[in-house]
Amino acid sequence: MDRQPDYMGHFTYRNGEMYAEEVPLSALAAQYGTPLYVYSRTAMRRQFERLKQSLDTIRPLLCYSVKANSNGAVLRTFAELGAGFDVVSGGELYRVRAAGIPADKVVFAGVGKREEEIEYALKEGILFFTVESESEVRQIARTAQRIGACARLAFRVNPGVDPKTHTYITTGKKENKFGLDAERARRACAEAASLSNVEVVGLHLHIGSQILDPAPYGEALCQILPLVEEWRNRHSTFRWLDIGGGLGIQYRLTEGSMNTACYAETVVPLLRQTGMSIVLEPGRYLVGNAGVLLCRVAVVKQSHHKTFLIADAGMNDLIRPALYGAHHEVCPVRQVAERLFGDLVGPICESGDFLAKERELPAVGEGELLAVMSAGAYGFSMSSTYNSRPRAAEVMVEGNRHQGIRERETWADLVRGERAWA
Ligand code: LLP
């Protein structure tokens, strides 16, 4: 039998019908409505364990990157497995805390942290902040001093490598806003060491996202190893090397996910020689293939050279195709043999409102369900209410159990918080 593509993972066909683990997607659509994000808890756990095992010789702290999918049920799934968390805002830290997870394994990144976010993170006692500018070091030091705390800092260094991914999700090249080049990082670090209320505890790297080739990780590490050595000798508190996330997943049949064994082969020897404690910040790798966006075809419309399948999900639910030209496989929930050529689009008033463009698609009719695959990462978390469309519901499946983990928003939610002009 052919190996099942990674993006199918725990979504499989039985008797011509797609299941999430043991549960037919059609049953979930009937109970929770569409559009609906459906996640496989087993798939998430499996990805976590797979990555952990590949790296077991260095026993890294795997900090799940909350931005990929920030639902509390997802966060708790990883917390149970011993994960830490990578957050980029006070809101993400709040979500972690609201899920009942302690802050001591949380790392806080981001180029523009606000004072109230810094204060909140200090009070919660996070593991460290990653810092990306000299001015941020001073801001954090001031806040720490004001509230009588000590802030642990890891400096984000921009290694100037090209991870060969989409330009919007490349972060470690010279022209990106992220990180400090080695020379500036040295200066910022020296300044930090002279300040009270801050401690230099680490170095941070994150070169980009959806990376399928381990080589750029090796390149980036080689770039920063001398600095690690230097700081290790200089600062007794320096012990964390955070190598970021970015491990890619399978979106198309013609590509594979990052092979974690190859990734480990590339990075482990380099990491071991540093003697540092290692942090990773995977997001997409842990959740991307563990979720689908389930939608229903509302209208089938023929145009002169193609067919439009107009679904009840649109760019507000899943913006990746519109924003990055990202490819997501589209599978029928009830298998059909025929294919058609056309677009899967949403009901939004924008020509960019597509989930799949000018492709072979399953020839389904009105009222049929489609699963947009690999939508577990940066799907719901990037969704909006554009065109005043309430955000979709989310459901978690494990084995034959399923549970709504976020209610569908209502029209009343859309106007909540608005005030009439008086
Ligand atoms: N750490 C840092 C500092 C990051 O900026 C990111 C992602 C991650 C970790 C997690 O990266 P991952 O392992 O998920 O690749 N919205 C885009 C992806 C943006 C990624 C932003 N930073 C997309 O839908 O492809």
Q: What atom in ligand 1 is closest to the CA of residue 166?
A: 25
In this predicted structure, what is the pLDDT of residue 2?
57
- The amino acid present at 162, given as its one-letter code, is D
| Four-point Cα dihedral 162, 167, 172, 173, nearest 10 | 70
In this predicted structure, what is the pLDDT of residue 169?
67
- The amino acid present at 246, given as its one-letter code, is G
Q: Measured in angstroms, how far is the CA atom of residue 246 from the centroid of ligand 1?
A: 6
Q: Measured in angstroms, how far is the CA atom of residue 68 from the centroid of ligand 1?
A: 7
Report the nearest-CA residue for atom 24 of ligand 1: 378
In this predicted structure, what is the pLDDT of residue 390?
98
Fold type of domain 11-40+288-415: Lyase, Ornithine Decarboxylase; Chain A, domain 1 (2.40.37)
Which residues of the chain form CATH 3.20.20.10? 109-282
- Edge to edge, the sheet with strand 11-14 lists 11-14, 17-20, 23-24
Q: What atom in ligand 1 is closest to the CA of residue 288?
A: 14
Q: Please answer whether residues 36 and 392 qualify as being in contact, where contact means their C-beta atoms are separated by less than 8 angstroms.
A: yes
Q: Measured in angstroms, how far is the CA atom of residue 205 from the centroid of ligand 1?
A: 12
349 is catalytic: yes
Q: Is the CB of 5 under 6 A from ligand 1?
A: no
Q: Is the CB of 92 under 6 A from ligand 1?
A: no
Q: Is the CB of 68 under 6 A from ligand 1?
A: yes
Give strand ranges (E) for 179-329: 198-204, 240-242, 277-280, 291-302, 307-311
Q: Measured in angstroms, how far is the CA atom of residue 208 from the centroid of ligand 1?
A: 7
Could you tell me which CATH class the domain 109-282 is placed in? Answer: alpha beta
Q: Which residues of the chain have pLDDT under 70?
A: 1-2, 168-169, 172
For a pocket test of ligand 1, which of 47, 281, 293, 315 has the largest count of ligand atoms closer than 8 A to its C-beta? Answer: 281
Report the nearest-CA residue for atom 6 of ligand 1: 245
In this predicted structure, what is the pLDDT of residue 87?
98
Q: Measured in angstroms, how far is the CA atom of residue 209 from the centroid of ligand 1?
A: 5
In this predicted structure, what is the pLDDT of residue 1?
45
| pTM (whole model) above 0.95 | yes
Which residues of the chain form CATH 2.40.37.10? 11-40+288-415
Q: What atom in ligand 1 is closest to the CA of residue 171?
A: 5
**C-alpha dihedral sign at 190, 194, 196, 201:** positive
Q: Is the CB of 328 under 6 A from ligand 1?
A: no
